[in-house]
A and B are shown apart, each in its own frame.
Chain A
Amino acid sequence: MSTVDRREFLKASALAAATAAAARASGISLPILEPQAAPSSSAQALRWDKAPCRFCGTGCHVMVGTENGRVVAIQGDQKAEVNKGLLCVKGYHVGLALYGRDRLTQPMLRTQGRLVPISWDKALDIVADRIAADPGRFAIYGSGQWTIGEGYAANKFIKAGLGSNLIDANPRLCMASAVTGFISTFGVDEPPGVYDDLDRCDVAILWGNNMAEMHPVLFSRLVDRRARGEKVVIIDLTTRRTRTSELADQVLFFKPQGDLAIANGIAHQLVKNGTCDTAFVAAHCNFRRLGEPGADGAQPDMLGVPMTFEEYAKALEPYTPQRVEELSGVPAESIVMLGDLFGRRDRRINSLWCMGMNQHTRGTAINCLVHGIHLLSGHFGKPGDAATSLTGQPSACGTAREVGTLCHLLPGGLSVTNPGHRAIAEKHWNLEPGRLSGRIGLHAVELFKRFSTPTDQGGDITTVWVQVTNPAHTIPDLNHSIRRKAQLADKFLIVSDVYPTATTELADLVLPSAMWVEKNGMYGNSERRTQHWFKMVEPPGEARDDAWQMIAVSRRLFDRGVPGMRDKDGRWLFHTADSAGKEIPIWEWKRYYSDTVVDERLFDEYRAFSRHKHKDLAPYREYVKARGLRWPVVQNSDGEWKETRWRFTEGSDPYVAKGKGFQFYHSVTKDDRALIWFRPYEPPPEVPDAEYPFWLCTGRVLEHWHSGTMTRRIPQLHRAMPKAYVEMNHLDARALGVRSGEMVTVRSRRGEVDLPVWLGGRGDPRPGEVFVPFFDENPLINRVTLAAYDPYSKQPDYKKCAVAVVPKA
């Protein structure tokens, strides 16, 4: 083999199918041959197994090659429907995320300012002590990277075990407005459409969505159709030129917040031209607007009040193309073009969005408006006709939204404020009636505000346990939130993570976690696809599963007699028995993987919740076999488990009655109809002025995922994108007298950071706007961002605030 030259080798490994992320003792990258191309001896040594990628919400599957207890190779999974063997630059290197040199390998307690190693026993005792001392001031903060089992364990621990709803997760910063949009429109969360729409649409409209960098594999799925001779028109609605714009047929630049005006402008055109799908609307939709604010200025109810079509049409009257041009900056003729496009029945239109629409102080409104124009024009529920939000995290849907690891949810899409829903959860969890709290807990921004406020000044959260996320990097307006914690002696921060982060820097107790294929797990992607993988390698040192950590603390509290940790028959909440009925001590790490599959036990318990909102999940073993299944997954009469592509569509969704065509069976109005909302244009909370003359937008880049704690430890990715920068328009740079590479201070009313300018780089903002990626922990751009959030979703707006840009002397 050693005589094969490099060129032949690379050919043999056929990059698109097989690549090379591998790591041996030194943690370096080594290509590996495909199993079939490799010598037979090595084929025996290498073991391949499937897993969803660790990074974004696309849910690509990878094949993971392991040898001698190490992940040594990654290749795109040809059998996966989502990615068909393709990966993005992050995915090809995902195996290396395990092997950064500074993995956390032992519990550490902050002692006289330094983190000092301690035993797991001691660490768990400390956690149990903090919780037992004041359970009402203890909160959990997790993420859409929790596996389904981990999120379920944490949710049950706090809601059933401690009787509080003090749990939230970072999808609050990420997908919350998509959730309120789906609930306001369809009465139930998550997209009706699927990725198949990308293969079937004639037109893709990207609403503030840089798909080429954020969901590259899905964008490939769209763009590759052109190479096959198919015609697909891509319309990029954006505030800055991006890599996506380069492949778009039309690029329409809008002013920040202008998306609200554009959507209303399209609806106005449909109504004015008489090109609404009147039959669809008459059969399947109601109209809705917000009610009046409460006497005390309280927000009107999210589910609104009815309005007639005539009232709806009248409300849209001001949104003429000319007026929309004034508000959004998009030329009037382009608004007319978009209106005409939606008015055509012979075109399949797929709207796609991610953070542009969700991280928005009117995020719920813009989500509702985009669903509204699709419903109004009948571009719904047919292959290619869909409005689909793309998620940023591998299990924002599967864990945070479906398992309900948020302050207002119970598993399966049930609500803590609904007494009937609480009763269902109490039944599944075998609790006394009334045990669960009906009081909504604290959403992320508020939770960390309370945690960073002195206890005697209303800061009534004193202990937070963070798992799988990095809030000291990603919460907006950091200087006035969690980063203040450093000055507060009576606050206690527990962080379970795999690497040192901006959050472990503030932590009092650090717990080393197992990650990805070091544990069993399940994720749920953007298209309702639930995916499974098995543990393939051992975690390093004393790192252990997040779910085990939660379960072990629960057991300690049970042993101490904390009443919430037992069900109404006195059994421990996580009681697990073998086939003979004998209890398995899953709180002991050495028994956690040896006697049973805890992941399966948690999933099968959770699965019972999935039927109440028609989000039916199949048994665990079905996911072991499949490359993910899209819910509702319902068993056929012949015993086969069948997934659902288009939800609410007859013939695809098993819950739609025969002859209905479409049925919105969780309708807010209880009449099987979806809601078309009117929501007005409203200005953003902070706009540039003389003192802070630029709009700041923040976001991700192709090479790095979220706060970069994994991807920045992958040498190839780090080298390709080593540090943050500020992109600005060359006209603004010239006016300021700065050139590419020169340092500037980006300053808002809340904080400042120093960054090098990058002109004509990957993105090109419009004059008056700047863009900064947030992956870099050295200049923390969230010291600058604004904590204003949508009143319904509580999701902050990271996409627009006012800043000054000052050249460094």
Chain B
Amino acid sequence: MVHDACIRQRSGHDMSEHDSVSRRSLLRGGLLRRGVAAVTGEITGESKGTTGAAPTSADEPRGAHAASRATLPVHRPPGAVDERSFLGGCTRCGDCIRACPADAIVLAPPRFREAAGTPMIDPSVAPCIMCADTPCISACKPAVLRRDQPLTMARASILKHACLAWNGSFCSVCSERCPVQGAIAIDAGRPRILEERCTGCGVCAFVCPAPGSAIMVMPLQDRPAVRPSGAEP
């Protein structure tokens, strides 16, 4: 895709760096608190200084959302085995992080508890760009990222009430930039995600220009267990 390179270079772009906080918080509901705070004037310049690298940002509090759930579903890189096997097998070596050309893979922060320190993707900061040659999988020595596993990481869904195209305006960015052919169709000018094709890479959520973003990406709760080695995928 034309814009892959832009996603890769994004962190170096001076105009887009400073917004990552809002997008990040947005996808986690932090936005709401901040939005209300902006109205009531409780928080001033809170976001200053939080525009640093991704791992720091992922440490931001998640609000009520986080407290209510014991284990958060983790947005793993593509080809990840089921979560129990992943936690057992991942050596936290960081090879997949180094292999990722989009800087999309980061270490899970402490609030992920037992998953802390394992590789994850925060698509609001840097989405997976669905490389054809999956260098993260190639780099994974303990094989918790595997070619014989589905590449699907998460599911994206369009929040119609927030989508410009579904609200009388025009926009087609999510469909244009989706790296998976046919995963986002445009019918009569409005985007629709085809769930069976969506891999949850998060590019659509990252590029969505709707105020407050109109795409939610939910990590898969249950990934298939590892197949016995040698079995047909």
Interface residues of A (CB under 8 A from B): 1-7, 9-11, 13-16, 19-22, 24-33, 38-39, 41-42, 45-46, 67-68, 72, 86-89, 92-93, 100-102, 212-213, 216-217, 219-220, 223-224, 243, 246-247, 702-703, 712-713, 715-723, 725, 740-741, 756-758, 761-762
Smallest CB-CB separation from A45: which chain B residue? B41
Contacts of A31 in B (CB 8 A): 31, 35, 211-212
B1 to chain A minimum Cβ distance, whole angstroms, is: 6
Interface residues of B in 1-48 (CB under 8 A from A): 1-6, 10, 13-16, 18-19, 21-23, 26, 29, 31-36, 38-41, 44-45, 47-48
- Distance in angstroms from B145 CB to nearest chain A CB is 25
CA distance A216 to B64 in the complex (A): 39
Closest to B50 in A: A26
CB–CB A39/B39 < 8 A: yes
A29/B211 contact (C-beta < 8 A), A15-B161, A46-B39, A756-B2 known: yes
Structural contact, A15 and B210, CB atoms closer than 8 A: yes
Q: Which residues on A sit within 8 Å (CB–CB) of B5?
A: 741, 756
Least distance between B25 CB and chain A CB atoms (Å): 9
> With the chains together, A210 CA to B219 CA distance in Å?
38
The distance in angstroms between the C-alpha atoms of A181 and B18, with both chains bound, is 46
Q: How far is the CA of A28 from the CA of B18 in the complex (A)?
A: 7
Residue B154 at the chain A interface, CB threshold 8 Å: no
- What is the bound-complex CA distance between A216 and B5, given in angstroms? 28
Q: Is there an interface contact between A89 and B2, defined as CB atoms closer than 8 Å?
A: no
Contact (Cβ within 8 A) B1 A741: yes
Partner of B35, one of A27, A30, A224, A716: A30
Contact between chains at B29 and A720 (CB < 8 Å): no
On whether A722 and B6 interact (CB within 8 A), knowing A9-B32, A93-B209, A713-B15, the answer reads yes
> Binding site of B, secondary structure by majority: helix, strand, loop or mixed?
loop
Q: Which residue of B lies closest to A75 (CB)?
A: B211
**Bound Cα distance from A364 to B90, whole angstroms:** 69
Chain B residue nearest to A18 (CB atoms) is B211
Q: Is the CB of A715 within 8 A of B16?
A: yes
**Apart from the given pairs A24-B38, A45-B41, A720-B208, 16 other A-B contacts in the complex at a CB distance below 8 Å:** A1-B40, A2-B32, A9-B35, A14-B161, A15-B161, A15-B162, A15-B167, A28-B19, A30-B34, A68-B41, A216-B169, A224-B168, A246-B188, A720-B171, A741-B1, A756-B2
A26 interface neighbour in B35, B45, B173, Cβ under 8 Å:
B45
A residues near B16, Cβ cutoff 8 Å: 715, 718-719, 722
Instruction: Name 15 A/B residue pairs within 8 A (Cβ), A-sorted.
Output: A2-B36, A6-B26, A9-B35, A16-B167, A16-B168, A24-B44, A29-B211, A30-B35, A31-B211, A89-B164, A92-B211, A217-B169, A716-B211, A719-B207, A741-B4
A715 touches B18 (CB 8 A): yes
Q: Of B1, B21, B164, which one neighbours A28 at CB under 8 angstroms? A: B21
Could you tell me if B47 and A720 are in contact, using CB atoms closer than 8 angstroms?
Answer: no
Question: How near does chain A come to B188, taking the closest CB pair, in angstroms?
Answer: 7
Main secondary structure of the interface of A (DSSP, over half): loop
Chain B nearest Cβ from A724, distance in angstroms: 10
Q: Which range contains the number of B residues in contact with the other chain?
A: 35 or more
Hey, which chain A residues are within 8 Å of B2, CB to CB? Answer: 725, 740-741, 756-758, 761
B-side residues, CB < 8 A to A, are 1-6, 10, 13-16, 18-19, 21-23, 26, 29, 31-36, 38-41, 44-45, 47-48, 51, 63-64, 159, 161-162, 164, 167-173, 176, 186, 188-189, 206-212
Min CB distance, B52 to chain A, in Å? 12
**Within the assembled complex, what's the spacing in Å between the Cα atoms of A448 and B109?**
56
- Residues of A within 8 Å of B36, CB to CB, are 1-2, 4, 33
| Contact A86-B173, Cβ < 8 Å, known A28-B19, A32-B38, A67-B41 | no
Contact present for A6 and B32 (CB under 8 Å): yes
Docked pose: A33 CA to B161 CA in angstroms: 15
B-chain residues with CB within 8 Å of residue A11 when the two chains form the complex: 161
Q: Which residues of B contact A41 (CB under 8 A)?
A: 40
Closest to B64 in A: A3
Which residues on the A side are within 8 Å of B206 (C-beta)?
719
Contact A30 B169 (CB under 8 A): no
| With A46-B39, A740-B1 as contacts: A715 and B63 at CB distance below 8 Å | no
Contacting pair A26 B21 (CB below 8 A):
yes
**Residues of chain B with a CB closer than 8 A to A715's CB:** 15-16, 18-19, 22-23
| A718: chain B residues within 8 A (beta carbon) | 13, 15-16
Q: Using CB atoms, name the residue of chain A closest to B174.
A: A720
Contacts of B176 in A (CB 8 A): 761-762
Cross-interface CB contact of A6 among B14, B23, B31, B169, cutoff 8 Å? B31
Closest residue of chain A to B1, judged by CB? A741
> What are the residues of chain B within 8 A of A213 when measuring CB–CB?
170
Shortest distance between the CB of B37 and any CB in chain A (Å): 9
- Max chain B C-beta neighbours (<10 A), residue from A31, A102, A217, A712: A31
Given the complex, which residues of B lie within 8 Å of A7, measured CB to CB?
Answer: 159
The answer on a CB contact under 8 Å between A24 and B39 is no
Contacts of B188 in A (CB 8 A): 246-247
Expressed in whole angstroms, the Cα–Cα distance for A45 and B39 within the complex equals 8
Chain A residues within 8 Å of B209, by CB: 89, 93, 703, 716-717, 719-720
CA of A88 to CA of B189, assembled, Å = 14
- A residues within 8 A CB of B161? 10-11, 14-15
Cβ 8 A contact of B38, one of A22, A224, A702:
A22
**Residues of chain A lying within 8 A (CB to CB) of residue B159:** 7, 10
Closest CB in chain A relative to B156 CB, distance in Å: 16
Query: Distance in Å from the Cβ of A753 to the closest Cβ of chain B?
Result: 15
Cross-chain contact A30 with B38 (CB below 8 angstroms): yes
Q: How far is the CB of B152 from chain A (nearest CB, A)?
A: 23
B211 lies within 8 A of A719 (CB): no
Measured between C-beta atoms, what is the minimum distance from A62 to chain B in Å? 12
What is the CA–CA distance of A741 and B131 in the complex, to the nearest angstrom?
Answer: 13
**What's the nearest-Cβ distance from chain A to residue B127, in Å?**
11
Most B Cβ at <10 Å: residue of A28, A32, A219, A713:
A28
* Contact B29 A5, beta carbon cutoff 8 Å: yes
What is the minimal beta-carbon distance from A721 to any residue of chain B, in angstroms?
7
How many Å lie between the Cα of A758 and that of B41 in the bound state? 45
Tell me which residues across on chain B come within 8 A of A725, comparing CB atoms.
2
Q: Give Cα distance in the complex from A630 to B40, angstroms.
A: 39
The smallest C-beta distance from B176 to any residue of chain A, in angstroms, reads: 6
Closest CB in chain B relative to A808 CB, distance in Å: 13
Q: Which residues of A have CB within 8 Å of B210?
A: 15, 89, 92, 716
Tell me which of B19, B39, B40, B51 contacts A716 (CB under 8 A).
B19
Q: Which residues of B contact A93 (CB under 8 A)?
A: 209, 211
Tell me the minimal C-beta distance from A215 to chain B in angstroms.
Answer: 10
Residues of B within 8 A of A45 (CB): 39-41
> Chain B's nearest CB lies how many Å from the CB of A228?
12
A351 to chain B, nearest CB (A): 21
By beta carbon, the residue of chain B nearest A220 is: B168
B19, B21, B44: which has the most chain A beta carbons within 10 Å? B19
The answer to whether A86 and B18 have CB atoms under 8 Å apart is no
B13 partner residues in chain A, CB cutoff 8 A: 718, 722
Identify the closest chain A residue to B26 (Cβ).
A6
**A residues within 8 A CB of B35?**
9, 20, 30-33
Q: Are A30 and B15 in contact (CB under 8 A)?
A: no
**A19-B211, A21-B211, A761-B176 known; A29+B19 contact, CB < 8 A:** yes
Taking CB as reference atom, which chain B residue is nearest A226?
Answer: B188
Contact among A29, A86, A719 with B168 in the assembled complex (CB-CB below 8 Å): A86
- Residue on A nearest B214 in the bound complex, by CB: A15
